[in-house]
Amino acid sequence: MRRPVKLMKVVLPILLTAFILVGGTSFSNPVTHEDIMIKDKNYSNGKFQNYESTTVLKSGTYGNTIYKYLFGGSKERAPSLPLPVVSMNISAHEPASDGLRFFWLGHSGVLLELGGKRVLIDPVFSERASFSQWTGPKRFQPSPLQAQDVHSLYAVLISHDHYDHLDKATIIALAPKTESFHVPLGVGAIMERWGIPKTKIHEYAWWGEYNFKGMTFVATPARHFSGRGIFDRYRTLWCSWVVIQGGKKIFHSGDTGMTSQFHEIGAKYGPFDLAFIKIAAYDENWPDIHLTPEEAVAANQVLGGRTLVPIHWGVFDLALHSWHEPIERLVKSAQLNKMHILVPKMGELVDPDKYENDYWWRKFMNDGKNVSF
């Protein structure tokens, strides 16, 4: 009996990772604010939908995807050593910058300092991106920031309800220190169930714009999907974010595939001083919902991003490619297109006007040997 038990300990986390990619790992009942969402133009018959026809997973490829997770894919889906992390300590005696600075926290997590305020986007401090901390995708290295290190936050922005973007433990721990939470439609009800005060939650439809004490937040479209369980796919909205303060404009892609909406976002709100755009967890079997590195560069061109900061890489094994393939492809594409990029270590304080890339990840890939794609 020992061998099947050992096998399940290996197989179950991999299966759960695959379920996260194609739509949820929890068995919880969906929670929504139907009266709010029914007014949204891309909400119909109890579900949200993308502006463009979107395939989450190609028909007939589910079994093949599971098989590849078990027996295929790159041999370097996780680094052999933990990647470097700069420890952060946000104290009461250290106010946020009046200008524009940021910390990349790994994956899609970003801590912005803008106009003397701190804004945290898609924070996941837990060890695993999962409904349970005993199984599911595990971090390659610890988070550079924990809730106890945070003194106060002006706002927390969430792009959608997937576990690698909306982490229950993180949200609950941050609630007493956060003035406001900004989320797409339906996600507010999930947070209320977790005990987050309704007065702190602001829900947005696509193109919803809100000025909160001098800083403007805009929920812009993304091409993706939602769901934290088997029965709640599309029951909450997903989005990208625009943040505007004092003449500075920031874009955060959340999770998205290539979409014509990038043109409209760029026309309405660009150009952007910084564009945080996802580059990883892509695959030919789900081409509509996750950008490739080359698509991230193309999206940034359309958006009018002056500087691209790649996100959604370097923390979790969520696809079949190696952990370093996305960033190497991104660098190559950016160089070909003469695009300015910033690629800091996790937890590193970045002043966009002063930071210089050192391509730190190459010391950890293939024993330091560069790879071409």
Verify cis geometry, omega within 30 degrees of 0, for the bond prior to 271.
yes
Burial 164-176 (b: 16+ CB within 10 A, else e): bbbbeebbebbbe
| Mean pLDDT computed over 223-251 | 95
DSSP symbols for 316-360:
---SSS-SSHHHHHHHHHHHHTT--B--PPBT-EE-TTT-----G
* pLDDT tens per residue, range 310-330: 999 999 999 999 999 999 999
Q: Is the confidence at residue 90, as pLDDT, over 90? A: no
DSSP for residue 200: G
Q: Which residues are paired to 203 by β-bridges?
A: 183
Per-residue pLDDT at 26: 41
Burial 349-369 (b: 16+ CB within 10 A, else e): ebebeebeeeeebbebbeeee
- At 313, list the tokens: 């890489």
* pLDDT tens per residue, range 96-114: 999 999 999 999 999 999 9
- At 231, list the tokens: 């029965």
Q: Is the confidence at residue 294, as pLDDT, over 80? A: yes
Q: Is the confidence at residue 181, as pLDDT, over 70? A: yes
Average pLDDT, whole number, for the chain?
89
| Mean pLDDT computed over 111-130 | 96
Reference 153, options 121, 118, 122; nearest CA is 118
pTM of the model: 0.90
DSSP for residue 138: B
> Residue 265 and residue 267: Cα distance in Å, rounded?
5
What ranges in the chain are assigned the alpha helix state H? Answer: 2-22, 34-37, 62-71, 168-174, 187-193, 261-269, 293-303, 325-336
Q: In what order do the strands lie in the sheet with 248-252?
A: 208-212, 215-220, 240-245, 248-252, 274-278, 308-311
Q: In what order do the strands lie in the sheet with 349-350?
A: 201-204, 181-184, 155-157, 117-121, 109-114, 100-106, 349-350
Give all domains of the chain, ordered by start, each with its CATH number.
100-368 (3.60.15.10)
CB 320 within 8 A of CB 75: no
Least confident among 15-24, 91-100, 121-130: 15-24
Per-residue pLDDT at 15: 47
Q: Is the confidence at residue 160, as pLDDT, over 90? A: yes
Residue of higher predicted confidence among 43 and 220: 220
Q: Is the confidence at residue 205, as pLDDT, over 60? A: yes
Residue of higher predicted confidence among 143 and 36: 143
Per-residue pLDDT at 134: 85
* pLDDT tens per residue, range 15-44: 444 444 444 444 344 445 555 565 677 888
| Mean pLDDT computed over 297-307 | 98
